[in-house]
A and B are shown apart, each in its own frame.
Chain A
Amino acid sequence: MRENAGVASVSRVRGRPLLEVRDLSVTFPQRKGGDVRAVRNISYTIAEGELLGIVGESGSGKSVSSLAVMGLLPTNAKIEGEILFDGKSLLTMNDRQLSDIRGKDIAIVFQDPLSALTPVYTIGDQISEALRLHDTALTRRAAEVRAVELLKVVGIPDSERRVKAFPHEFSGGMRQRAMIAMAIANNPRLIIADEPTTALDVTIQAQILEVLEEAKQITGAAVSLITHDLGVVAGHADRVMVMYAGKMVEMGTAEEVFYEPTMPYTVGLLRSVPNVRTASTERLVPLEGRPPSLSDLPVGCPFAVRCPAAIAECLEVEPELLAHGQAQDHLSACHRAGAIANGELARTDIFPRPEAHIDSAVSHGKGETILEVTDLKKSFPLFTGAVVRRKAGAVHAVDGVSFSIAQGRTLALVGESGCGKTTTILELMELTKPEGGRIVLEGTDVATLNKNSRNALRADIQIVFQDPAAAVDPRLPVGDVIAEPLLAQGVSKHDRDDRVTELLELVGLDPAMADRYPHEFSGGQRQRIGIARGLATNPKLLVLDEPVSALDVSIQAGVINLLQDLREKLGLSMIFVAHDLAVVRQIANDVAVMYLGRIVEYGPISDVFDNPRHPYTQALMSAAPIPDPREERSRHRVLLDGDLPSPSEQIDGCRFRTRCPLYKMLDPVRDAAARAKCEQDDPNLRPHDFVEVACHHVDRNKLLVD
């Protein structure tokens, strides 16, 4: 027996198998080219009441293998193997027979809750439908009453009224709750959750995972949780299955997979994700390359081209899934897993942490101030009525934001979607007089610029967007894409070509690639192209809007490292907008936490993240998943209630009050004065040690963590 670590360590004794998948293969025949072999020979079981986490990068076959269980694959899919649910073979059933099991015994929660709900029926009707399909005796009324109850269970306030709402009237988090309500409606025995939180903010993600955990408790169902976020499985999964190129490459308990992985891919994956507790202390390990095409698989190990531990055998024989360590059910598919398990081949040697290019000296020296933003304001007119539009007030998207950036430093803007991050940076990029406040770039107040001086200054501030595919014009060769900002500056053709060569080298791409078109590049490479283009004019300040969130984790690391190197090499200042706090911590020096158009906490990132003082920051930090099962399970969470209020809503006093967990803990009698302060007095940023916090009761925030 292995050591009993963590708070809720999993017992090795597993229940009766509920779902048994044997040798499942799924192939999609193609009209031209090779068939897509999306899933190949995977076998696994899920025991009753167990939570299995399935991880792997995009296209690895996570969804396809789970949809096969539900019988929901497109009709052209060729499925082989056997799937037994409670002893019954699912693959031999027809659609009619399967439909009796779907939604009753096996339920599924899909990734994108907006498109997963039918837009024309009310939430209540859709939940009732799930109930009435399997219980024909249930009356319409009774089903509706039950739907209200279910919405209550998943934490939707005012559910009697909400049950009549249409999907578009719900926020993303609420829709996902409704999906879970639908999934648990008939007390299923297995819930498949396919990336249930990927589209959501961390705070909402934490709520949803909690609801899922609760649903599991209530129904006693087993759960198969699919995700690409290692942090999400770490805290919740009993066992973890890692998929790569349609294969299951590792399977074991969460502890085994996270602490003693024996497949190099898992090792690399774990070392490529930053941890919000420790990020920036070490460099990330990039997993270069991309998975093989599923329609043209290599012989041998599919990971071989990316694997630093590959040996000759790897290119010839595909490794089988076997146990290598003491634990009989810790399996991995690797020729060298034995050596990894017994320590002959150290995990740190397979994927050593890369060296930083230059010692991070520049970033810590406080240089001159590049950008100074004071009391920035931006509002959007708000209209009511879908057809006859009337102006009905304004949304204060950015409402008095101040920060400054010194040369060589990186400031991160974090907060839930809708808190004003993107609006803030877009206002900066305008280089015009803002609606309110002042923007001073390199000592020049942008309000004083004329057309020419503005164009000249534009070279100093450049932006990189989130989606590498959308931001790059597909019809231009990448050389032209990169040179585009130079064109605006009137640089000659010859100088542009030289600069493109230089830039491609700088971002780690082959300069010979300048003539190729964007579609020939992978997501990570395209993002590098985006960065090269951002650097074309040699800007002093680079603004990055979610630069890595569209990338797979293994690819993220390379781009993050690149950004770090560039900062050191070029003494670049950056503004970095991201929702992934661990990524933010890996890169940024300072952080501004935003809530409803305001900064609520601002300071050096290690001070803010190690010791969050504002209740909102505390909640954000505790919601950020950590890819470490023990740590994740033993964490104390500060959960936030509900969603971000609509920015047009009038909230007196502290804007965070409607969701503030600290405010909620204040006793209405004993702390009446303190409560009144929250209710009446809008807190300003005030210094506390090295950081600034906008909360009246910073001294009491320990209440939340104890």
Chain B
Amino acid sequence: MALYLIRRVINYLILTAVATSLAYLLASVGLNPAQPEQQRHPRPPQIVIDHLLDRWGANPHVPLIERVWVWFSNILFHGDFGISVQNQPVVTLLTTRAGVSLQLLLIGSIIGAILGVVLGVWGAVRQYKPSDQIVTYASFVIYATPVIVMAILLMVLATGFNQAVGTQIITFSGQYSADAPAAFWPQLGDRLVHLLLPTTVLILTSAASYSRYQRNAMLDVLGADYIRTARAKGRTRNSALIRHGVRVALIPMSTFFAYSFGTLVTGSTLLEIIFSWHGMGEQAIQSIQQNDINGVAGATFFVAILILCSSTLSEVLYAALDPRVRR
């Protein structure tokens, strides 16, 4: 098993390298970092522009393949992802911004998954009862609502709430307020309040999709013979469903986890922008806007690593949940 996992991780690492290089390649072809300089009035001398382009490793006079190689070998041998157009090392960007994004992603995926699983199981056990139908409809509505719409809706609601109580309880711009007291608890409280809306959106969207999948998986096992066996041994229906049913119905969720994580990343990119969080998502969009090849490649690298981790985790989960695939 360990050997198998190592193989898989190596596989994913290669995929990560390929994905990141492709992103670099595409960005190099599609983006023109010199554009802002060329449009300045007066236009800076070509030598200055070339100098900048060289710094970014984006000089079109150097053959593309060579640029890719230089960039790649710098990462491989020096851990250097190049310089962004704002003249910051991309590595610095990665390290400062990744934490911000991870906050959203981790809270969103973990709480969303747990909530979704619980709702799915609950819905399946109470199939066709009003409670199940409410959950079903609600999750379809959430599923069909674009993230932006939901975020704005929540903002409106929060504003209304603030006005109703008369003070600014829910703040939803940025990761923290600059004027929060410096002590630990107020700081933590402030951060949590800022997290509230964006994570709610993420949790709702991922819980909606998880609950659908979990409900289906659970419906599959509801009528399973082994549930009947467990009851025949002396379990009540509910205890048999939980001890035996849920445990088996969780197996397909491990693969769904890897899949849904990708959608979650997309969602959180939008949310970072809507709620002005300075995370990787925002960074990626800005990089594209600023024709920043190294920035785009760096952001891609971050996402690829996330996918690598979630895929590996999902395989570990799968093997942990299903003894039939273990060897």
Q: Is A656 an interface residue (CB 8 A)?
A: no
Contacts of B233 in A (CB 8 A): 102-103, 107, 129-130, 133, 182
Q: Is A112 an interface residue (CB 8 A)?
A: yes
Q: Is B324 an interface residue (CB 8 A)?
A: yes
Contact in complex: B232, A107 (CB < 8 Å): yes
Contact in complex: A104, B4 (CB < 8 Å): no
User: What's the minimum C-beta distance from B227 to chain A, rounded to whole angstroms?
Assistant: 8
Q: Is B115 an interface residue (CB 8 A)?
A: no
**Can you name the residue of chain B whose Cβ is closest to the Cβ of A130?**
B233
The stretch among B46-54, B195-203, B243-251, B281-289 that forms the contact with chain A is B243-251
User: What's the minimum C-beta distance from A384 to chain B, rounded to whole angstroms?
Assistant: 8
Q: Is A663 an interface residue (CB 8 A)?
A: no
Contact in complex: B4, A387 (CB < 8 Å): yes
**Can you name the residue of chain A whose Cβ is closest to the Cβ of B223?**
A74
The CA of A122 and the CA of B323, in the complex, are separated in Å by 9
Q: Is A406 an interface residue (CB 8 A)?
A: no
Known contacts A118-B244, A119-B324, A386-B327; is A95 also within 8 Å of B229 by CB?
A: no
The CA of A104 and the CA of B232, in the complex, are separated in Å by 9
Contact in complex: A116, B228 (CB < 8 Å): yes
Per-residue contact bits, chain A 333-363, to B (CB 8 Å; 1 contact, 0 not): 0000000000000000000000000000000
Contact in complex: B226, A104 (CB < 8 Å): no
- The 8 Å CB contact of B231, one of A99, A168, A179, A388, is A99
Q: Is A290 an interface residue (CB 8 A)?
A: no
User: What's the minimum C-beta distance from A223 to chain B, rounded to whole angstroms?
Assistant: 15
**Can you name the residue of chain B whose Cβ is closest to the Cβ of A70?**
B232
The CA of A387 and the CA of B230, in the complex, are separated in Å by 31
Contacts of B226 in A (CB 8 A): 115-119
- The 8 Å CB contact of B232, one of A102, A115, A120, A121, is A102
The CA of A560 and the CA of B230, in the complex, are separated in Å by 40
Q: Is A100 an interface residue (CB 8 A)?
A: yes
Q: Is B55 an interface residue (CB 8 A)?
A: no
Known contacts A116-B228, A119-B226; is A388 also within 8 Å of B7 by CB?
A: yes
Contact in complex: B232, A95 (CB < 8 Å): no
**Can you name the residue of chain A whose Cβ is closest to the Cβ of B248?**
A120
Contact in complex: B244, A102 (CB < 8 Å): no
Q: Is A108 an interface residue (CB 8 A)?
A: yes
**Can you name the residue of chain A whose Cβ is closest to the Cβ of B226?**
A118
Contact in complex: B231, A118 (CB < 8 Å): no
Tell me the count of chain B residues lying within 8 A, CB to CB, of chain A: 26
Q: Is A110 an interface residue (CB 8 A)?
A: yes
Per-residue contact bits, chain B 26-47, to A (CB 8 Å; 1 contact, 0 not): 0000000000000000000000
User: What's the minimum C-beta distance from A655 to chain B, rounded to whole angstroms?
Assistant: 28
The stretch among B87-95, B211-219, B234-242 that forms the contact with chain A is B234-242
Contacts of A112 in B (CB 8 A): 225
- The 8 Å CB contact of B323, one of A95, A101, A115, A120, is A120
Q: Is B325 an interface residue (CB 8 A)?
A: yes
Chain A 104-141 interface residues, beta-carbon cutoff 8 Å to B: 104, 107-108, 110, 112, 115-122, 129-130, 133-134
User: What's the minimum C-beta distance from A443 to chain B, rounded to whole angstroms?
Assistant: 49
Contact in complex: A120, B251 (CB < 8 Å): yes
Q: Is A161 an interface residue (CB 8 A)?
A: no
Q: Is A521 an interface residue (CB 8 A)?
A: no
**Can you name the residue of chain A whose Cβ is closest to the Cβ of B224?**
A115
Contacts of A99 in B (CB 8 A): 231, 234-236
Contact in complex: B324, A166 (CB < 8 Å): yes
Number of A-B contacts (CB under 8 A): 83
Known contacts A102-B234, A120-B322; is A385 also within 8 Å of B327 by CB?
A: yes
**Can you name the residue of chain B whose Cβ is closest to the Cβ of A117?**
B226
Known contacts A96-B236, A134-B234, A387-B4; is A116 also within 8 Å of B229 by CB?
A: yes
Contacts of B232 in A (CB 8 A): 70, 72, 102-103, 107-108, 110
Per-residue contact bits, chain B 250-288, to A (CB 8 Å; 1 contact, 0 not): 010000000000000000000000000000000000000
**Can you name the residue of chain B whose Cβ is closest to the Cβ of A100?**
B234
Contacts of B224 in A (CB 8 A): 115
Contacts of B247 in A (CB 8 A): 118, 120-121
**Can you name the residue of chain B whose Cβ is closest to the Cβ of A165?**
B323
User: What's the minimum C-beta distance from A95 to chain B, rounded to whole angstroms?
Assistant: 5
Contacts of A118 in B (CB 8 A): 226, 229-230, 244, 247-248
Contact in complex: B323, A386 (CB < 8 Å): no
Q: Chain B CB within 10 Å — which of A112, A116, A179, A182 has the most?
A: A116
Contacts of B244 in A (CB 8 A): 118, 121
Contacts of B323 in A (CB 8 A): 119-120, 122, 166, 168
Contacts of B321 in A (CB 8 A): 120
User: What's the minimum C-beta distance from A32 to chain B, rounded to whole angstroms?
Assistant: 16
Q: Chain A interface residue count: which class?
A: 20 to 34
Q: Chain A CB within 10 Å — which of B230, B232, B321 has the most?
A: B232
**Can you name the residue of chain B whose Cβ is closest to the Cβ of A101?**
B234
Contacts of A120 in B (CB 8 A): 247-248, 251, 321-323
The CA of A130 and the CA of B251, in the complex, are separated in Å by 24
The CA of A704 and the CA of B247, in the complex, are separated in Å by 49
Contact in complex: A115, B324 (CB < 8 Å): no
User: What's the minimum C-beta distance from B221 to chain A, rounded to whole angstroms?
Assistant: 10
User: What's the minimum C-beta distance from B117 to chain A, rounded to whole angstroms?
Assistant: 16
**Can you name the residue of chain B whose Cβ is closest to the Cβ of A186?**
B234
The CA of A697 and the CA of B143, in the complex, are separated in Å by 73
Chain A 157-179 interface residues, beta-carbon cutoff 8 Å to B: 166, 168, 179
The CA of A121 and the CA of B4, in the complex, are separated in Å by 23
The CA of A133 and the CA of B224, in the complex, are separated in Å by 20
The CA of A117 and the CA of B230, in the complex, are separated in Å by 8
Contact in complex: B234, A130 (CB < 8 Å): yes
Chain A 45-98 interface residues, beta-carbon cutoff 8 Å to B: 70, 72, 95-96
Contacts of A122 in B (CB 8 A): 323
Contact in complex: B236, A110 (CB < 8 Å): no
**Can you name the residue of chain B whose Cβ is closest to the Cβ of A95?**
B236
Contacts of B7 in A (CB 8 A): 388
The CA of A55 and the CA of B216, in the complex, are separated in Å by 36
Contacts of B324 in A (CB 8 A): 119, 166, 168
Contacts of A95 in B (CB 8 A): 236-237
The CA of A72 and the CA of B236, in the complex, are separated in Å by 10
The CA of A122 and the CA of B4, in the complex, are separated in Å by 23
Per-residue contact bits, chain B 285-327, to A (CB 8 Å; 1 contact, 0 not): 0000000000000000000000000000000000001111111
The CA of A328 and the CA of B82, in the complex, are separated in Å by 98
Q: Chain A CB within 10 Å — which of B229, B235, B321, B325 has the most?
A: B229
Contact in complex: B251, A386 (CB < 8 Å): no
User: What's the minimum C-beta distance from B224 to chain A, rounded to whole angstroms?
Assistant: 7
Contacts of B231 in A (CB 8 A): 70, 72, 99, 102
The CA of A112 and the CA of B226, in the complex, are separated in Å by 10
Per-residue contact bits, chain B 100-128, to A (CB 8 Å; 1 contact, 0 not): 00000000000000000000000000000
The CA of A204 and the CA of B15, in the complex, are separated in Å by 50
User: What's the minimum C-beta distance from A558 to chain B, rounded to whole angstroms?
Assistant: 32
User: What's the minimum C-beta distance from B170 to chain A, rounded to whole angstroms?
Assistant: 43
Q: Chain A CB within 10 Å — which of B4, B234, B247 has the most?
A: B234
Known contacts A95-B237, A388-B7; is A116 also within 8 Å of B225 by CB?
A: yes
Contacts of A166 in B (CB 8 A): 323-324
Cross-chain pairs A/B with CB under 8 angstroms, 24 sampled: A70-B231, A70-B232, A72-B231, A72-B232, A96-B236, A99-B234, A99-B236, A102-B233, A103-B232, A110-B228, A115-B226, A117-B229, A118-B244, A118-B247, A119-B322, A121-B244, A129-B233, A130-B234, A133-B235, A166-B323, A168-B323, A179-B229, A182-B233, A386-B326
Chain A residues with a Cβ under 8 A of chain B: 70, 72, 95-96, 99-104, 107-108, 110, 112, 115-122, 129-130, 133-134, 166, 168, 179, 182, 385-388
Chain B residues with a Cβ under 8 A of chain A: 4, 7, 224-226, 228-237, 244, 247-248, 251, 321-327
In the A-B complex, the 9 residue pairs with the smallest Cβ-Cβ separation, listed nearest first, are A103-B234, A103-B233, A115-B225, A118-B226, A130-B233, A133-B234, A116-B225, A166-B323, A108-B232
Known contacts A103-B234, A388-B4; 10 further A-B pairs (Cβ under 8 A):
A72-B231, A99-B236, A115-B225, A116-B225, A116-B229, A118-B248, A119-B324, A130-B233, A179-B229, A386-B327
